[in-house]
Chains A and B, each alone.
Chain A
Amino acid sequence: MEYVDAFYVGLINILPFSAQGQSSFLFMLLGVAIGFVVGILPGLGGATTLALMLPFIYKMDPTTAFAFLLGSNAVTATTGDITSVLFGVPGEGITAATIVDGHPMAKKGEAGRALGAALMSSLVGAVFGAFALALAIPLVKPLVLSIGAPEFFMLAIVGITFVASLSGSNITKGLTAGAFGLALSTIGLDPIESVPRFTLEPILGEGGGLFLWDGVALVAVTVGLFAIPEIVELAVMEGSIAKEKVGKLGGVMQGVKDTFIHWKLVLRCSAIGAYIGLLPGLGGGPAQWISYAHAVQSSPDKERFGKGAIEGVLGPGAANNSKEGGALVPTIAFGVPGSVSMAILLGAFIIQGIVPGPDLLDPGKYLPLTFSFVWIIVVSNIITVAVCFLFLNQIAKITFVKGTYLIPFLLLLVYLGGFAVKNSFGDMAMVILFGALGWLMVRFDWQRPPLLIGLVLGNIAESNLFIASKIYGMSWLLRPGVIIIILIIAGALLYPLYQTWRERQKKMAAGTEGAQSASPQTTEEITTSSRFFHSLFALFFVVVFAYVMREIFFGFGADEDRASLFPLIIGVPGLALASWTFGKDVFTTTRVVTGGEEPAVGDVEIEPVVARKRMISIISWVFGFFFSIWFLGFIWSSVVATFLYLKVGSRENWFMSIFLTALSWLFFGGLFDRMLHLPFPEGQLFIWLGY
């Protein structure tokens, strides 16, 4: 009964019907507004914003303070999805997985539907996470404490096994990419003895090597892998992001309906998100990717994914929101933050004089406040989604804007997103590097999600495997939690096999009719260039893994057995897989050619000569913007590079060129420099001139 009372008081305290409620509600709206903008803009992270908001809560009462902070934090994932879907640029690091299928939908003219689905599933996820938090409160201790290092390691393995199902039509390529991601995760200081691994010091020099000490930043990799290829494609295809017009402008309501059609998937992914959020130490990356992987794995028709499958939007959309509710659990119950945002919220608890732990679960003390958290997450997401729906059809129209108008903004935002990770130039370089890799992966038909799964789970797997074996020896394999997870893995691997088998049975029963409808849509297939380059690209991975092995035996690993153990575990199968892929690519040349499958490039036919010309041009601009930012700094680039691109590059008229340049200057100079004080580096030119 006390719980129910507290639950009710928690709600009343944030609704504008009392003096307390009014103040909370007002600040929640303010927080939501801030979070809304932060979520949409790449390069502005939720955590950084929270840190900036923190000083304002000194004079607030606890409920108001958390309405302000949590309101902001709860919506960044929701609005971050919008940027991901529309532009293929992740609005937040945690909304990258929505790109994989959301952006292809936007290109098919279904931006409205994708946004409707992303927002609705976000809302469902947020509510799910919030109530998971409410329900978890009485059981929170056993829930968190039952997971030890061995179970953490096994959970990471669960994620890694998903790689197989994310690999699309070519499993070896997918596994190679997954191994590559795992190898990437080992770059930097090793998590136990701080041995620098693969820091490429001989190539990059001391400064570059030092930069790699912290490893490869997920945001920079994601932005590069996904955003750069999209920008290149947008320029090559010309026109707008959306290639087709769909009746009733994309069908926002269709997206909402989709959420309920696939309600089981949405709930399952919400549960995955909430559970991952609840485990401290996994961070923001895994929830979205694991739920994306789950969406693919649980679908009988995996071919559609990556080309605009609605489930691929719903899964991560739900998970990246439900995660927030889950992440509050350990913060509240133990004062153990599950993510950077939660660490900052923990600071807010301290400022408010609240000791996380039993007090927050005590009906006589702060339990109503804890339940207010639940309601803040629910109410702020409802408000956000409602506001979005009002404008969604307008927002979706941006996909019909001429692409060349968007490209300078996208390029600047992409580099800003990379830069803002650590306020360093190095991550901008990462963006361009992984941009090139992503572009090649798309061209040669390699799946990108396995790489990211490997990257987000590698470190977790490594350090927990070490802790588990150091504490328990081999006996950790017999822990009940570990055995349960092994069974889950076995089930997850076998279920799709069973499913395909059942599908085949059905199709056999239905005759040829079924077979026709299941024929894959190949509209988004990218031109496959000559087999020579295919093999060359596969050879790149062979070289990478060969380098990994070289480092293990003759580089850092020569003196460091422990630090080189995990890279070795990855390197051996990685080298084998890459060589296998390479061999296959070399020796299957004739078969593919005789197959005679003429690739279709989207719906618009572009002459190869024109396409090549445009491609060379846009790639030069991608590098040009990078160079300009290095040479002139961000602010001047937002003027000079933007204008040059518009006027010289795409020959826009004077009015649009000047208007958009002014807009770009206002946006980057005004918002990011003047208002937010992002520490933009000075342009090299000004350093040389001795300014």
Chain B
Amino acid sequence: MKKGTLYLFSLAVVFAFLASASTTALAAEFYKGKTIRFVVGYSPGGGYDTYTRAAARHIGRFIPGNPTPIVQNMTGGGSLIAANYIYNRAKPDGLTVGIWNGGLILQSALGERKARFKGDKFGWIGAPVKGLPACAIMGFTGLKTLEDVLKSGKRLKMGATRAGSTTDDLPKILNKTMGTNFDVISGYRGTATIRIAMQKREIDGACWGWESMGVTARAMLDAKGDDKLIPYIIQGKDNSPEVRDLPQVTSVIKGADNLSTFNAWMATYQFQRPISSPPGTPKSRLNILRKAYAAVMKDPTFLAEAKKSKLIINYVSGPQIEKYVSQILNTPAKAKEALSFLVRKKKKK
């Protein structure tokens, strides 16, 4: 009898193995000669598009069956159109994946009804980078450090694009949680025009991602005296000399409520430009895509190209993203209250 059980058991193991091997093999069969569509929620040439194209060029090599990746742009509504498309319309066959703004998950948690999806239902594949939101101030203000900024007593003009962007949200959140005295000047077309406005001394500073600031504002960071752009606070770790020793927002913020408010906002920056598959994508194919994406993020050719393009790579895995997403969806009520200004709600009459 004992022998028989063992026999049965090993048979089961073999079957299980065969079954799992065959699903992989079937999936390999599946991807052969197919194309994988990367649907990007922003227009060509932007950060989302650049990161996606950089990875898409290489991912085919790491998927059994070597499918052809193509990148398509579906712009609109700050990538909301792409997110809704991936959730509601795209076929969950592992051939269509989406790249859209993870901040929308927070928006949906705060009650934005235009976000017609549940963040935890997507199949999260991975993200190339973590966001490093930072604030910087111009040399001509005479201020250099966070302490200077907090004590200056002046109302500092911070340039911003429009509500819903890092440039607009972060200074407002710092006003709420750290008592800074920022006057947010919105309406600029992009961080490029904000940079010009700082050089014109129309505004005193601005907040946006260090991963972009460190590259696009390079000349200003290297400038001297009044024309120098000085970062003074950041969230997240980076080894560039300008920001290595800066205070972290989470370590200077005071009060548990303030901290949880900031953390709720910050969670969406832990996975920037993430790739997701439609809900219901077969687990086996999702796993293939996850593995392939992880392999690209470690691939020397990809990393060399990324380095040349000054794209910071800071891989976040699919399961990690799942954790952040559930953290966002479980934001405490008080933090939600404090962040409610991020979502526009119809006032009740």
Contact = CB atoms under 8 A, between A and B. Distances in A.
Contacts of A340: 43-45
B111 to A, nearest CB: 15
A121 to B, nearest CB: 29
A47 interface: yes
B226 interface: no
Interface string A408-419: 000000000000
Contacts of A195: 344
B193 A350 contact: no
A525 interface: no
A347 B51 CA distance: 12
Interface centre among B35, B164, B344 (most CB of A within 10 A): B344
A125 B346 CA distance: 50
A50 interface: yes
Interface string B31-72: 000010101000111100110010001000000000000101
B154 interface: no
Interface stretch (B173-181, B304-312, B322-330): B304-312
B187 A463 contact: yes
A213 B81 CA distance: 10
Contacts of B157: 471
A210 B203 contact: no
B53 A191 contact: no
A357 interface: yes
A683 to B, nearest CB: 15
A677 B185 CA distance: 41
A422 B187 CA distance: 23
Chain B binding surface SS class: mixed
B219 A347 contact: no
B303 to A, nearest CB: 13
B196 interface: yes
A466 interface: yes
A201 to B, nearest CB: 10
A559 B193 contact: no
A194 B163 contact: yes
Contact of B189 (A48, A51, A424, A463): A463
B189 A355 contact: no
A423 B196 contact: no
B344 A214 contact: no
Contact of A213 (B76, B197, B202, B349): B76
Interface string B180-202: 00010111110011011101101
A214 B80 CA distance: 11
Given A194-B164, A213-B77, A677-B70, A336 B192 contact: yes
Contact of B44 (A211, A344, A351, A559): A344
A316 to B, nearest CB: 23
Interface residues of A, number: 59
Interface string B216-257: 111100100000000000000000000000000000000000
Contacts of A280: 189, 192-193, 196
Contact of A58 (B186, B197, B305): B305
Q: How large is the interface on B (under 10, 10 to 19, 20 to 34, 35 or more residues)?
A: 35 or more
A347 B74 contact: no
A192 B76 contact: no
A145 B74 contact: no
Given A51-B44, A192-B186, A424-B76, A148 B305 contact: no
A471 B74 contact: no
B215 interface: yes
A50 B45 contact: yes
A98 interface: no
Interface in A193-228: 193-196, 206-207, 210-211, 213-214
B75 interface: yes
A144 interface: yes
A350 B37 CA distance: 27
A368 B50 CA distance: 28
B187 A191 contact: yes
A334 B196 contact: yes
B219 A334 contact: yes
A355 B218 contact: yes
B84 interface: yes
A471 B77 contact: no
A148 B200 contact: yes
Contacts of A350: 215, 309-310
Interface in B259-310: 305, 308-310
A515 to B, nearest CB: 50
Given A353-B308, A424-B81, A214 B75 contact: yes
A608 interface: no
A641 to B, nearest CB: 24
Contact of A206 (B114, B189, B197, B200): B114
A470 B186 CA distance: 9
Contact of A281 (B116, B186, B193, B222): B193
A602 interface: no
A335 B219 contact: yes
A281 B189 CA distance: 7
B141 interface: no
B202 A471 contact: yes
Interface of B: 35, 37, 39, 43-46, 49-50, 53, 57, 70, 72-78, 80-81, 84, 114, 116, 157, 162-164, 183, 185-189, 192-193, 195-197, 199-200, 202-203, 215-219, 222, 305, 308-310, 344, 346-347, 349
26 contacts: A51-B45, A58-B305, A190-B162, A194-B162, A206-B114, A210-B81, A214-B76, A335-B195, A335-B217, A336-B195, A340-B43, A344-B45, A350-B215, A351-B308, A356-B219, A358-B219, A423-B72, A423-B73, A423-B74, A424-B74, A424-B76, A466-B186, A467-B187, A470-B183, A471-B157, A471-B185
The 6 A-B pairs of least Cβ separation, nearest first, read A357-B219, A51-B44, A463-B187, A194-B163, A679-B72, A344-B45
Given A334-B196, A335-B216, 11 more contacts: A48-B44, A51-B44, A51-B53, A55-B57, A148-B202, A191-B187, A280-B196, A334-B219, A351-B308, A355-B219, A424-B76
